[in-house]
Amino acid sequence: MKRIIIHEEYCIGCGLCEVHCIVKHSRTGKIIRAFKEERDQIVPGVQVERDGYESFALQCRHCDDAVCIEACMTGAMHRDPETGAVLCDTDRCVGCWMCIMVCPAGAIQQGADGTVASKCDACTDEEIPVCVANCPNEALVLEDEE
């Protein structure tokens, strides 16, 4: 499958990945409207960690042995058979936060309204996830895995 590889040595901590993730997951898809109207309603699936000069942008790793899927009591957390991405079916999620409890990357968040889990959906409808496409320094790249 294709995986987003994080080259943290090239992360400049700008946060454009978060910005574009928010836009992508907004109602209008328009950057200015997305921020002015929906900023508080969207938890970006990618979040930049910063510590001193170091930083990296982290989104769900779509792990091979995804512990969040194992821990999900509703079956909401599942692997998309086509793309291999780990996705959360928010219609089935009840917000038990088992996934948050087990994700070793800390890559799952509570959604903005606190009722269902929110995470990177790998932009499965895009050829390249927006965080990758908009990373100005190729700290995020999409690579094919053998």
Partner 1 sequence: MPNWLIEPDFVVERDPDRCIQCEVCVRQCANEAHEFDEELQEVFTDSTRCVGCHRCASLCPTDAISIRPAELEFRPNENWSAQAIRNIYKQSEQGGVLLTGMGNPEPLPIYWDRMLLNASQVTNPSIDPLREPMELLTHIGSKPQRLEFSGGETPQLETTLGPQLELHVPVMFSAMSYGSISYNASEALARAANEVGTYANTGEGGLHEDLRQYAGRMIVQVASGRFGVDVDYLNSGAAVEIKIGQGAKPGIGGHLPGEKVSADISATRMIPEGTDALSPAPHHDIYSIEDLRQLIYAIKEATRYRKPVGVKIAAVHHVAAIASGCVRAGADFVAIDGYRGGTGAAPTMIRNNVGIPIEFALAAVDSRLREEGIRQDAGLIVAGSFRCAADVVKAIALGADACYIGTAALVAMGCHVCQKCYTGRCNWGIATQDPYLTRRLNPNIATRRLVNLLESWAHEIQEIMGGMGINAIESLRGNRDHLRGVNLTDRELNVLGIQMAGE
Partner 2 sequence: MKSKSKYLIIGNSVAAVAAVSGIRQIDESGEITLVSREPHHTYSRPLITYLLGGKVTEEQMAYRPADWYEKSNVNALLGTEITRVNPDEHTVETADGETLGYEKLLIATGGTPIVPGNVAGTDAAGVFTFTTWDDAKAIEAYIAEHGVESAVVVGGGLIGLKSVEALIELGIQTTVVELAETMLSASFDRTASELAQRRLAEEGVQVRTSTTTEEILAQEGRVVAAKLTDGETIPCGLVIFAIGVLPATEIVEGTDIEIDRGIVVDDRMRTSVEDVYAAGDVAQARELICGEKRCIAIFPNAFRQGDVAGRNMAGGDASFEGGLVMNSVTVVDVPTISVGVTEPLDDSYETMVQLDEDAYTYRKIVLHDGRIVGAVFVGDIERAGIITGLIREGLDVSNFRDMLISRDFGLIQLPTEYRRRVISGTGTRA
Q: Is 77 helix (H, G, I), strand (E, B) or coil?
A: strand
Residue ranges in contact with partner 1 by CB under 8 A: 7, 9-16, 18-20, 31-32, 35-36, 39, 52-53, 134, 136-139
Q: Please, what is the minimum distance in Å from the beta carbon of residue 122 to partner 2?
A: 11
Pairing of β 109-110 and β 117-118: antiparallel
Q: Please, what is the minimum distance in Å from the beta carbon of residue 132 to partner 1?
A: 13
Q: Is 140 helix (H, G, I), strand (E, B) or coil?
A: strand
Q: Please, what is the minimum distance in Å from the beta carbon of residue 7 to partner 2?
A: 10
Rank residues 36 and 145 by Cβ distance to partner 1 and give the closer one: 36
For the residues of 80-115, what is the DSSP string, one character each? -TTT--EEE-TTT-----HHHHH-TT---EE-TTSS
**Residue 83, both tokens:** 């793309």
- In the complex, the residues that contact partner 2 under the rule CB under 8 A are 3, 6, 8, 49-51, 54-56, 58, 61-65, 67, 70-71, 73-75, 91-92, 94-106, 108-110, 114
